[in-house]
Homo-oligomer: A and B are copies of this chain.
Amino acid sequence: MHTSLKNDQFLRACLRQSTEHTPMWLMRQAGRYLPEYCATRAKAGSFMGLATNTDFATEVTLQPLDRYPLDAAILFSDILTVPDAMGLGLSFTQGEGPKFEKVVRDDAAVAALQVPDMNRLRYVFDAVASIRKALNGRVPLIGFSGSPWTLACYMVEGGGSDDYRRVKGLMYSRPDLMHRILEVNALSVAAYLNEQIKAGAQAVMIFDSWGGVLADGAFQQFSLAYTAKVLAHVQTHHEGQQIPRIVFTKGGGLWLQEMNALDCEVLGLDWTANLGHARALVGGQVGGPGKALQGNIDPNVLFAPPEQIANEARRVLESFGPPHTDPHTTGPTHIFNLGHGISQFTPPEHVAALVEAVHSHSRQMRRS
């Protein structure tokens, strides 16, 4: 039996239930901007050394929670563990980001792709179980995966890209191959998330980090359809608890109405979206159906002095508007987050100012 949660604000907001304040967490909250993270990473030797060691992964996942009163923890891992388990050979080179030893660009490479044996990802599920235990009910634990399209970008490009020339070239030239890659990815991601849930993840998030680079039409066909396929295979409950599912497409604001049809509880938004407009489109009414919204302050706000950070945090909260406060029903809710991962150059004390501003102003919004 798991310990009951001391702070369930995040899970409540995911399910569009009223909360005392607007819960918040930060994408990439365990990361290089924290000196204690850098110390652990140095001990681990490499990024994958960190991610594959249960103790280190647990340690760094909890570090931001020890500094800031955040409302959720997120598994420390990488979105590329799944293609690595497919045998593509992931490595991280200093300053250059992820690289795959093998790329998937032709008939033979696509034909060889398979849903990986989940035992090859055991280190991730062990980390989930260990983190959940270490959290001891402080806050809920979020598991995650890259979306099928986002994984495909790296698998075809062989690493990061600034033009997505190879993956889009393949998509436009050989849509049959691209669909096959995405099909394998969707089933892999679903199996991966289900194992994370079994190991103790209390919510799961799909990072469609590169969905926004697709053209209208291509997005629906090559990203959204496969995110929907993942969701169709991910379990919605575990040990009697509902497991909220969050989908975040960076640069996907134009497709919000189409994303509303996804079978998930929460939609994440980047900073280009207007939360008030998004709420009107997909947030629903009190007592009616809808999606919870997560986002969306520009991470670069954290380079301004604390006073401006507080102003911008208030602006984002006000753009969503007053959250619903009826304890007897569901309604529009907001989970505060960045619109993208936190920068490694962020001053840690500025994060404290952001968390304080969000919690205090969102409490005030509920009183007035």
Contact = CB atoms under 8 A, between A and B. Distances in A.
Interface of A: 162-165, 168-169, 172-173, 212, 214-219, 251, 253-254, 271-274, 296-298, 300-301, 303-305, 308, 312, 315, 319, 339, 343, 345
A305 B212 CA distance: 24
A214 B169 contact: no
A181 B169 CA distance: 40
A285 to B, nearest CB: 23
15 contacts: A165-B345, A169-B300, A169-B304, A172-B312, A173-B303, A173-B305, A214-B271, A215-B298, A216-B272, A217-B319, A219-B272, A251-B272, A253-B253, A254-B254, A254-B274
A167 to B, nearest CB: 9
A274 B257 CA distance: 13
Given A169-B303, A251-B251, A254-B272, 16 more contacts: A162-B162, A165-B345, A169-B304, A172-B300, A172-B301, A172-B303, A173-B303, A173-B308, A214-B271, A214-B272, A216-B272, A216-B319, A217-B274, A218-B298, A219-B272, A253-B253
Contacts of A273: 216, 254
A253 B345 CA distance: 30
Contacts of A168: 298, 300-301, 303
A271 B216 contact: yes
Nearest to A163: B343
A214 to B, nearest CB: 7
